[in-house]
């Protein structure tokens, strides 16, 4: 499947990416069948990863509000052994977190070898939300007294260096941006208001943030362009149709993890001999009355 059409390794232009695109599947039924197949395969791949403990995968989910990050986590990872998956949702930094560098709270949440870690939002928030609302940054962190281009370029380069560090330590980042249109977001916000079971998900701040839609699109383009590379690419995934985005995410993850060739550890001749002896002992046990 040509998921490479959503791959970004250099310059990103969101205006060239249609959030309503559903071209890789004939219809919803085909997409959901593919999602189910990928769930099965992802569970098998993760089981091998966990046994091998030779690398870990860090799935980074970024998106505008209502784009479906929670749904992706729920539907894509539902068949994976919970022991091997860790989901972390990054909210507004706490007072303690603000007393440290912005990557401090991230590092302690990285997946262990053999695990799949999922960051529902991530360290990228510190070059996205804070770039749109620069007043959120502690002035003590601004050498020139303001958040200028030099400051943001420095942070983006720090992130590039951080991801090189992750790769060198066998933590493989897979970066996914769920791309929705402003009209689709409006539709989903209205649905949250109109559905009592969804009211709890509605946040008035989402309405206020819509005023900055163009700013966010511009900042996402700059961020993705500056941090996409052959080693740590981004995927810009059309997300106006939730069923499509979930199937594409599942496909990308299985493709990427398969290329890492996880497998169950091979035992030595000595270990095989021990297993054979244990088998004989079990088989020779007297039958209980």
Find the CATH number of the domain harbouring 192.
Answer: 3.40.50.300
Order of strands, sheet of 7-8, starting from the edge strand that comes earlier in the sequence: 7-8, 234-238, 171-179, 56-63, 116-120, 85-89
pLDDT of residue 145: 65
Residue 159 lies in a domain: yes
Report the C-alpha gap between 262 and 17 in whole angstroms.
Answer: 32
User: In whole angstroms, how large is the CA radius of gyration of the chain?
Assistant: 22
Characterize the bridge pairing of strands 7-8 and 234-238.
Answer: antiparallel
Number of domains in the chain: 1
pLDDT of residue 201: 80
Residue 137 lies in a domain: yes
pLDDT of residue 289: 63
Residue 171 lies in a domain: yes
pLDDT of residue 144: 66
Q: Which two tokens stand for residue 142?
A: 């601004």
Neighbours of 44 (CB within 10 A): 15
Q: CB neighbours of 35 closer than 8 A, spacing ≥ 6?
A: 75, 76, 243, 246, 247, 250
Kind plus residue range of the DSSP H or E element containing 118? strand 116-120
Residue 289 lies in a domain: no
pLDDT of residue 220: 98
DSSP letter assigned to residue 77: S
Q: Which residue range is the domain that position 243 belongs to?
A: 3-284
Residue 154 lies in a domain: yes
- Do residues 123 and 210 make contact, with C-beta atoms less than 8 angstroms apart? no
Kind plus residue range of the DSSP H or E element containing 142? none
178: closest CA among 96, 61, 78? 61
Report the C-alpha gap between 218 and 107 in whole angstroms.
Answer: 28
pLDDT of residue 63: 97
**Splitting the chain (289 residues) into consecutive groups of 10 residues, what average pLDDT does each group show?**
92 96 97 97 97 97 96 95 94 86 94 97 95 78 76 95 98 98 96 87 85 97 97 98 98 97 94 95 86
């Amino acid at each position: 499947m040509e998921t490479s059409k959503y791959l970004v390794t250099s310059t990103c232009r969101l205006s060239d990416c249609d959030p309503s695109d559903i071209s890789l599947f004939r219809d919803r039924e085909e997409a959901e069948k593919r999602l189910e197949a990928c769930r099965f395969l992802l569970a098998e791949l993760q089981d091998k990863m966990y046994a091998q403990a030779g690398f870990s995968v860090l799935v980074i989910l970024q998106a505008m509000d209502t784009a479906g990050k929670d749904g992706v986590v729920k539907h894509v990872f539902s068949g994976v052994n919970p022991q091997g998956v860790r989901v972390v949702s990054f909210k507004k930094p706490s007072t303690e977190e603000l007393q440290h560098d912005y990557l401090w709270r991230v590092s302690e949440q990285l997946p262990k070898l053999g695990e799949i870690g999922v960051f529902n939002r991530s360290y990228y928030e510190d070059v996205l939300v804070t770039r749109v609302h620069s007043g959120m940054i502690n002035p003590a962190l601004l050498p020139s007294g303001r958040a200028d281009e030099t400051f943001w370029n420095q942070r983006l380069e720090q992130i590039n260096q951080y991801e090189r560090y992750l790769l060198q330590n066998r933590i493989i980042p897979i970066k996914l941006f769920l791309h929705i249109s402003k009209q689709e977001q409006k539709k989903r916000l209205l649905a949250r208001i109109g559905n009592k079971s969804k009211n709890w998900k509605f946040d008035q701040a989402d309405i206020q943030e819509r005023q900055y839609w163009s700013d966010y699109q511009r900042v996402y383009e700059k961020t993705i362009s500056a941090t996409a590379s052959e080693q740590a690419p981004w995927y810009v995934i059309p997300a106006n149709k939730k069923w499509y985005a979930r199937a594409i995410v599942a496909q990308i993850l299985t493709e990427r993890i398969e290329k890492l060739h996880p497998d169950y550890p091979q035992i030595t001749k000595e270990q095989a001999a021990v297993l054979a002896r244990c088998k004989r002992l079990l088989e020779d046990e007297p039958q209980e009355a």
